[in-house]
Copies of this chain bind each other. A is one copy, B any other.
Amino acid sequence: MTKPPTRIQQRNQAAILTAGLDVFSQFGFRGSTLDQIAEAAGLSKPNLLYYFPSKEAIHEVLLEQLLETWLDPLRALDRDGEPVAEVLAYAQRKLALSRDYPRESRLFANEILQGAPRILDILRTDLRRMVDEKAAIIDAWAKAGKIADVDPHHLIFSIWALTQHYADFDVQVRAVLGDREPYDGATVFIETLITKVLRP
Main secondary structure of the interface of A (DSSP, over half): helix
The yes or no answer to A75 lying at the interface (CB within 8 A) is no
Residue of B nearest to A124 (CB): B175
| Known contacts A26-B113, A161-B162, A193-B197; is-contact A128 B178 (Cβ 8 Å) | yes
Q: How many copies of this chain sit in the oligomeric assembly?
A: 2
| Known contacts A154-B186, A196-B199; is-contact A171 B120 (Cβ 8 Å) | yes
Chain B residues with CB below 8 A from A158, complex form: 162, 165, 189-190, 193
A38 CB to nearest B CB, Å: 17
Give bound CA distance, A25 to B124, whole Å.
23
Contact (Cβ within 8 A) A106 B113? yes
Residue of B nearest to A173 (CB): B157
The yes or no answer to A192 lying at the interface (CB within 8 A) is yes
From 148 to 181 in chain A, residues with beta carbon under 8 angstroms from any chain B beta carbon are 148, 150-151, 153-155, 157-158, 160-162, 164-166, 168-169, 171-173, 175-178
Chain B residues with CB below 8 A from A127, complex form: 172, 175-176
Sampled A-B contacts (7; CB under 8 Å): A113-B113, A113-B168, A116-B175, A123-B171, A132-B176, A153-B185, A158-B165
Residues of A within 8 A of B (CB): 25-32, 106, 109-110, 112-116, 120, 123-124, 127-128, 131-132, 148, 150-151, 153-155, 157-158, 160-162, 164-166, 168-169, 171-173, 175-178, 185-186, 188-190, 192-193, 196-197, 199
